[in-house]
């Protein structure tokens, strides 16, 4: 690794944040991301406090021929936030959320998490689509799509963007919106970190909460086939006010396998009980935790299942129909699951998120259907091979039912190739290449699902 000590010392004279080299206090903590399977060592970590710091960090990296990675929340399972022997631009010190209740907008810095956004916006009874796990970073989730409780009612996270402030490959700072650098605004809405470092996002907010109807109902694994068929049928009847997902998982005792349905009703409060009643009255559940709930609590309900530092390996085929054969393959796979932390999660895509034209944004997965997230998660490093093998075999068992489309945020390192690009971007890939050539012709930002 090149000795950058003197150069970093020079940069630090004007840098507002922190610059960390290997061996510095805080370096090891800063380089760790949510996925414990990722163990990379940057040559320098630039913990930025503002847009000027980001600009200086980009220029420094280019001057010293360092590959650049960008950390927002650090949640991406592929570990794209950190790079070996390069510069990690760390936005974790930039977490402010400023709400303008009158205009129903929020300006959110690139290091914020959805927990922080929801906390601030809910002070005014407002919200925008953000992930289902509170510790997820705003930046990565939004730039790659933005799956969440409000997607059926208000579209993906990126569908709620009004503008972004972005630092380009030459260090220049621009604001992009529908009327400013519109081609770049199109591209960042789904194109991930391919075009620069987003310092802040401006979101459109909607009247939601503070109380909604939602939660989780669970049944014994023996009922999994019936529950998944019910889930399939239920998703055909719901309107845009309901978001729902079904999971094959292990209970809190670490041994008892269950099938659970999570749901959130985002419409008029009076309609909540009727909307979720079919779930609550189906079969003989062993747990029913679905009813009135604060919106912020609903958004943190799943946080405990995804602790920082656990090892994660995921694959996620997309199914336009939940066929009986796919249900049977998933149940069979769950019976062989080696870790009690792992799940097979069926995420229902419907409503507003699926009615946006495919070419309206770079994000291309607008089909109604089911994203099947095969979540391999474990703590014991000795079990890594067994868990990765289980995820791969489960994915293979579901491929005959899959469309070939992929949700970009779930594309793993081994799939960051031409096939992965086509699966994520489909017909939007040629235009994405044109925008990449215009704004990042030297491919400075390439630690991602890379568009070249």
Residue 42 near residue 31, CB atoms below 8 Å: yes
Distance CA 23, CA 39 (A): 15
Residue 103 near residue 60, CB atoms below 8 Å: no
Q: Which residue has the tokens 């994000």?
A: 363
Residue 204 near residue 445, CB atoms below 8 Å: no
Tens-binned pLDDT, residue by residue, of the chain (452 aa): 568 999 999 999 999 999 999 999 999 999 999 999 999 999 999 999 999 999 999 999 999 999 999 999 999 999 999 999 999 999 999 999 999 999 999 999 999 999 999 999 999 999 999 989 999 999 999 999 999 999 999 999 999 999 999 999 999 999 999 999 999 999 999 999 999 999 999 999 999 999 999 999 999 999 999 999 999 999 999 999 999 999 999 999 999 999 999 999 999 999 999 999 999 999 999 999 999 999 999 999 999 899 999 999 999 999 999 999 999 999 999 999 999 999 999 999 999 999 999 999 999 999 999 999 999 999 999 999 999 999 999 999 999 999 999 999 999 888 889 999 999 999 999 999 999 999 999 999 999 999 99
The contacts of residue 161 (CB under 8 Å, 6+ apart) are 142, 185, 189, 201, 202, 203, 204
Distance CA 130, CA 113 (A): 9
pLDDT number for residue 11? 96
The contacts of residue 244 (CB under 8 Å, 6+ apart) are 231, 234, 235, 238, 261, 262, 263, 264, 279, 348
Nearest to 358 by CA among 368, 344, 348: 368
Q: Residue 43 carries which DSSP code?
A: S
* DSSP H or E stretch at residue 274: helix 272-280
Q: Which residue has the tokens 């049977």?
A: 328
Residue 338 near residue 242, CB atoms below 8 Å: no
Joined together, the tokens standing for residue 420 give: 């992965």
For 103, counting Cβ atoms within 10 Å of its Cβ (0-12 exposed, 13-18 middle, 19+ buried), the class is exposed
Distance CA 58, CA 43 (A): 14
Q: What is the largest CA-CA distance in the chain?
A: 68
Strands annotated E in 273-421: 287-294, 311-315, 318-319, 343-349, 369-378
Joined together, the tokens standing for residue 401 give: 């039912």
- The SS3 call for residue 273 is helix
Inter-axis angle of helices 272-280 and 224-235, nearest 10: 150
pLDDT number for residue 1? 53
Distance CA 359, CA 146 (A): 17
Distance CA 171, CA 267 (A): 43
**Partners of residue 165 on adjacent β-strands:** 175, 200
The full set of domains in the chain, from first to last, is: 5-90 (3.30.43.10), 97-208 (3.30.465.10), 211-414 (3.40.462.20)
Distance CA 273, CA 322 (A): 26
Residue 374 near residue 272, CB atoms below 8 Å: no
Residue 317 near residue 341, CB atoms below 8 Å: no
Q: Residue 137 carries which DSSP code?
A: B
Distance CA 4, CA 42 (A): 12
Q: Are strands 211-220 and 206-207 parallel, antiparallel or unpaired?
A: unpaired
pLDDT number for residue 413? 84
pLDDT number for residue 2? 61
Residue 147 near residue 133, CB atoms below 8 Å: no
Please measure the distance between the N-terminal and C-terminal CA atoms of the chain and give it in whole angstroms. Answer: 27
Rg (CA), the chain: 21
């Amino acid at each position: 690794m090149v000795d950058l000590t003197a150069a970093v010392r020079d940069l630090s004279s004007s840098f507002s944040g922190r610059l960390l080299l290997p061996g510095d206090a805080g370096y090891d903590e800063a380089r760790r991301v949510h996925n414990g399977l990722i163990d990379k060592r940057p040559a320098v970590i630039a913990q930025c406090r503002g847009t000027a710091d980001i600009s200086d960090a980009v220029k420094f990296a280019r001057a010293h021929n360092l590959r650049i990675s960008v950390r927002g929340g650090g949640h991406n399972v592929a570990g794209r936030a950190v790079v070996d022997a390069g510069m990690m631009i760390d936005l974790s010190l930039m977490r402010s959320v400023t709400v303008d209740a009158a205009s129903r907008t929020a300006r959110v810095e690139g290091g914020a998490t959805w927990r922080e956004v929801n906390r601030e916006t809910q002070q005014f009874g407002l919200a925008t689509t953000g992930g289902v796990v509170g510790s997820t970073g705003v930046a990565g989730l939004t730039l790659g799509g933005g799956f969440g409780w409000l997607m059926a009612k208000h579209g993906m996270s990126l569908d709620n963007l009004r503008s972004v402030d972005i630092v380009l490959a030459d260090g220049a700072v621009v604001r992009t919106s529908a009327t400013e650098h519109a081609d770049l605004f199109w591209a960042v809405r789904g194109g991930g970190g391919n075009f620069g470092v987003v310092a802040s996002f401006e979101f459109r907010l909607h009247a939601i909460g503070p109380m909604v109807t939602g939660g989780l109902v669970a049944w014994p694994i023996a009922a999994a086939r019936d529950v998944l068929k019910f889930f399939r049928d239920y998703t055909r009847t719901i309107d845009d006010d309901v978001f729902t997902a079904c999971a094959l998982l292990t209970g809190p005792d670490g041994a008892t396998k269950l099938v659970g349905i999570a749901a959130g009703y985002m419409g008029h409060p009076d309609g909540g009980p009727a909307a979720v009643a079919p779930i609550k009255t189906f079969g003989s559940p062993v747990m029913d935790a679905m009813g009135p709930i604060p919106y912020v609590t609903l958004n943190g309900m799943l946080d405990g299942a995804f602790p920082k530092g656990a090892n994660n390996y995921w694959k996620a085929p997309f199914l336009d129909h939940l066929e009986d054969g796919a249900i049977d393959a998933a149940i069979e796979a769950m019976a062989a699951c080696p870790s009690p932390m792992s799940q097979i999660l069926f995420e229902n895509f419907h409503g507003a998120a699926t009615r946006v034209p495919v070419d309206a944004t770079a994000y291309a997965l607008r089909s109604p259907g089911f994203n099947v997230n095969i979540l391999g998660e474990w703590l014991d490093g000795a079990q890594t091979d067994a868990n990765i093998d289980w995820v791969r075999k489960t994915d293979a068992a579901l491929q005959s039912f899959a469309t070939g489309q992929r949700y970009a945020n779930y594309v793993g390192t081994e799939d960051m190739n031409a096939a992965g690009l086509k699966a994520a971007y489909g017909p939007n890939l040629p235009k994405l290449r044109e925008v990449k050539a215009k704004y990042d012709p030297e491919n400075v930002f390439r630690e991602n699902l890379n568009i070249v």
